[in-house]
Amino acid sequence: MTPEQKSFFRERGYILLKKTLTKNQVGPIKEHILDELKRLKLWSSGKAMSASIKKMPAFQQIAKLSGMIKQNEIHTKVITQAASSTIASLTESKVVQAQSQLLISLPNQGGWTLNGLNWHTDISSSSPDLVPGIQAFVLIDDVKPHGGATLAMAGSHLLKNHSELSRIREVLREKGDIEEELRSSDLSIVEMAGQAGDLYLMDMRVLHTPSINSTTSIRMMATVRYLLE
């Protein structure tokens, strides 16, 4: 982890580390997900098999699938020793693995949009200099733009008070040009798309949200949360 990477993470609240896992490492996890979708009669051969799942609102569908499809010890399969060392370096403290799960969304959830999303933070901190936790997002398969990847609002972890955060949340509820509004606040939206094996690390104070998968491919990611010990 270079000083420049650390500085970028402190300022923007995330960092992308490309190809931390090989296709041979993520391949078995991808096959397990596809096998489980078929076993559960949810998806097979490019077609949804469950009308009830398909009709669910996009974010409910993600939560449902992520709860149904299990992978034992997923964190040991997607977080390498090098990634663990990077996480410890970014927090400058010991961390413990708190929660891990798969993040799955089916294709063709509707038109991609920034409006009406579920923006939230997972944790807060009384000190602007203290990173209270890091959430890792690992791409199990390639995720194209508008393919359902998690969105993060880079820089939002540095908003200084509740009124600033409330103003940004109000902007997100509006239906105008959200990105133009955010630029004036030195904030930007990062879509965690990329190639299988890529790893995003995010300060858990950052505003983030699931997004709509408007592509024809299943979105397959895994997430692992780390909190200060």
Domains (range + CATH), the chain: 3-228 (2.60.120.620)
Average pLDDT over residues 126-148: 91
- pLDDT-derived band at 161, boundaries 50, 70, 90: low
pLDDT (0 to 100) of residue 166: 73
Secondary element (H or E) of residue 226: strand 219-228
Is 53 a residue whose pLDDT tops 90?
no
More confident site: 175 or 8:
8
pLDDT (0 to 100) of residue 162: 64
pLDDT (0 to 100) of residue 33: 95
pLDDT (0 to 100) of residue 140: 98
pLDDT (0 to 100) of residue 118: 86
pLDDT tens per residue across span 70-86: 888 899 999 999 999 99
**Other C-beta atoms within 10 Å of 86: how many?**
23
* Most confident by average pLDDT, 23-27, 39-43, 63-67, 114-118: 23-27
Is 45 a residue whose pLDDT tops 70?
yes
Q: C-alpha 111: how far from its chain's center?
A: 19
pLDDT (0 to 100) of residue 173: 72
Is 126 a residue whose pLDDT tops 70?
no
pLDDT (0 to 100) of residue 179: 73
pLDDT (0 to 100) of residue 57: 84
pLDDT (0 to 100) of residue 146: 97
CB 136 within 8 A of CB 199: yes
**Burial of residue 65 (number of CB atoms within 10 Å: 0-12, 13-18, 19+):** buried
- pLDDT-derived band at 175, boundaries 50, 70, 90: low
In sequence order, what are the residues at sequence separation of 6 or more whose Cβ sits closer than 8 angstroms to the Cβ of residue 197?
Answer: 18, 19, 20, 21, 22, 23, 25, 26, 138, 139
pLDDT (0 to 100) of residue 201: 98
- Global pTM? 0.92
- Rounded to 10°, the helix 3-12/81-91 angle is 60
Average pLDDT over residues 10-29: 96
CB 194 within 8 A of CB 132: no
